[in-house]
Amino acid sequence: MCQKMESSRQSLYHALAYAAVVLFITFFSLACSSTTKRLDVDKDMLADSGELTRQELENAADNLAKKVATHFTAHKPKEGIFVAFLPTKNDTSDQLPVQVFDNRLVDGLLGAKIYTVRVEDRSKALSEIAFAQTGATANGLSAGNMKSPNFFIQADITENIFRSGGDRIVEQTLNFELRSVETQVVVFSDRVVYRKKPRNQQRGLTW
C-alpha cells in the first residue's frame, strides 16, 4: 500500500515537472516571437492588405524621374526647366505615405538638374523677403529673383477593388502628368499599375 502511494506521488511529481518545463518553453517561445526585430529596409516586402509600400513608391518615383529627365533631354526649353510639383493626391482607402513618393521624385529630378519650385510655400518666402527689405537683416533679398515654373507635375493614386474567382483583388494606379504652365498641354504622362491579391481577404469588400 505504501509502495503504491509512493509510486503515485513520484508519478505526480514527474507529471508536474514535465508540465512546468512545457509551460516554460512555451512562454519563452512566445516571448521571443513577440520581440521587435530589425528588418532589412532594402528587402522587397508586400503588405497583407495590398496597399502600396514605401519601397514600391520610391521605385515608382525613381523610374518616373528618369523618364521626365529623358523627355527634357529631347525637349529642353531655352528659358530653362523649373517645375512646380503639386502634392500627390491619395484617392484610395489606405493611408499611403505619399510624401515618400514626392520627396523621392524631387530628389531624382534634382539629380538630373531639373529644379522644382514649391509654389505652396511662396507666401512664406514673400514674407521673409519683405522682412529682409526693412533693413533689419544684414543680407538684402529681392522678390525679383524668385523663379516661376514653366511646367508642373500632378500625380494621384486611385484604387479599384473587385473579386475574381472568389478572391479579393486590389488595383492601385499611380497616374502622373507633366504639363506646360503656359499652354496647359500635357507634354508627358505615364501611369504605374499595381494589382495584388491581398493576404487579408476580409478587408474592404463584403460581397
Given the candidates 3.40.50.10610, 3.40.50.150, 1.10.10.10, 3.40.50.720, the CATH classification of the domain at 54-196 is: 3.40.50.10610
Q: Quick one: average pLDDT of 90-117?
A: 92
3-state secondary structure of 80: coil
Contact by Cβ (8 Å): 151, 181: yes
Q: How far is CA 56 from CA 47, 52, 63, in A?
A: 11, 6, 11
Q: Quick one: average pLDDT of 100-106?
A: 95
User: pTM score, two decimals?
Assistant: 0.68
3-state secondary structure of 89: strand
pLDDT score, position 40: 45
Give the H/E segment covering residue 116.
strand 115-117
Domain residue extents for the chain: 1-37, 54-196
Q: Does residue 200 surpass a pLDDT of 60?
A: yes
Of 47 and 56, the structure prediction assigns the larger pLDDT to 56
3-state secondary structure of 202: coil
Q: Quick one: average pLDDT of 43-49?
A: 56
pLDDT in tens, 57-83: 999 999 999 999 999 999 988 888 999
Residue 58, C-alpha cell as written in the block: 520610391
Q: Does residue 49 surpass a pLDDT of 60?
A: no
Contact by Cβ (8 Å): 102, 59: no
Strand partners, 89: 156
